[in-house]
Amino acid sequence: MQRGYGRALPQLWRRIAGPPAPDKKGVNYRHAFHAGNFADVMKHAALVSALEYLKKKDKPFRVIDTHAGRGLYDLSGREAAKTREAVAGIVKLREAADVPPALKTYLDLVRGFGDHYPGSPLIAARILRPIDKLTAIEKHPEEYMALADALRQHANVRVEDGDGYARLAAVLPPPERRGLVLIDPPYEAENEFALASAAVAGALRRFATGVYLVWFPIKRRSDADALAGELLTAGATKLLLLTLNIGGDATERLTESGMLVVNPPYGFDAEMRETLAFLAKHLAQGEGAGSRVEWLAGGAG
């Protein structure tokens, strides 16, 4: 990935002009139509793996989920039936045998919810120890209410209604000085890639050692390249790219999903290589299926 003035100029401009204004689109997004699809499986398997690594040290840490969703999704509901995305994702995966160990932790957790699917905040809440904390932020009022209900039994969780990007700046650095930030916006707004990269750039200035998981859909390779370039310019010195492509007809639906991981825990890359290769094999819909785990900066060790 290239660095230099070409990459630095948009960053510099944003520092002068402030973050880009949110686009009006995206307010109608409902994750229930997509819960448990291949992209959710990938992002949640990565989340579980990273959290398990963070738990290897005794010291507490904090998770910040900037776009948390409603927390729990009914796979037998109208939305899931309409898209059938979960059928090609988690429902298919639940049948797989010989699952790699890291993926098994995620699958066992999900299986425990029966015909419902847990979203990222509920997954994190289940994995955290009592000493760890979760801040889950959701902007949509109905989704926020459902989320507060889904997480009400967890004492170490704070649910906030508001703009995840704005709140992220306010809650960093975490008092624990150890933490993981998940940024998982709907990407319905045209400037969502710019919003996400500006949020990570600001967050890195406040909390350079945090682990950041930034999910994105891959419709145009240039969006992913630009996002990675912005994170490098923002000072990410350890940056890992994960992609999962399920193949098949990309004109009708999303077939490739990506994640950029800043400061991945040691060992996470090897674990994700195995996990994503397994997912690509078991969730393949047609030609072109495959996965990538690639260091864009830094590297193992």
Taking the least distance from each CB to ligand SAM, the nearer of 72 and 262 is 72
In whole angstroms, the minimum distance from the beta carbon of 21 to ligand SAM comes to 12
Q: With respect to ligand SAM, which residue has the nearer C-beta, 232 or 246?
A: 246
Which lies closer to ligand SAM via its Cβ, residue 26 or residue 179?
26
Cβ-closest position to ligand SAM: 119
Which is the catalytic residue, given 184, 223, 249, 269? 184
Query: How many Cβ atoms sit within 10 Å of the Cβ of residue 165?
Result: 23
For residue 10, cis peptide bond before it (omega within 30 degrees of 0): no
Shortest reach from residue 163's CB to ligand SAM, in Å: 4
**End-to-end Cα separation, the chain, in angstroms:** 20
With CA atoms as reference, report the closest residue to 113 among 206, 30, 209, 44: 44
Q: Residue 262's closest CA among 194, 214, 301?
A: 214
| Shortest Å, Cβ 144 to ligand SAM | 8
Round to whole Å and give the CA distance between 269 and 275.
Answer: 10
List the beta bridge partners of residue 242. Answer: 259, 293
- Compute the least distance from the CB of residue 266 to ligand SAM, in Å: 25
Residues that bind ligand SAM (CB under 6 A): 26, 29, 31, 40, 43, 67-69, 119-120, 137-140, 143, 163-165, 184-186
Residue 108 catalytic? no
Shorter beta-carbon distance to ligand SAM: residue 7 or 184: 184
Write out the DSSP string of 245-259: E--S-TTTS--EEEE
CB of 133 vs ligand SAM, minimal distance in Å: 17
Query: At residue 247, what is the residue type?
Result: G
The one-letter code for the residue type at 137 is I
Task: Give whichever of 69 and 202 is closer to ligand SAM, judged by the CB atom.
Answer: 69
Q: Can you tell me the distance from the alpha carbon of 158 to that of 1, in angstroms, rounded to the nearest whole number?
A: 37
The tokens describing 164, both together, are: 């995840």
Catalytic residues: 184
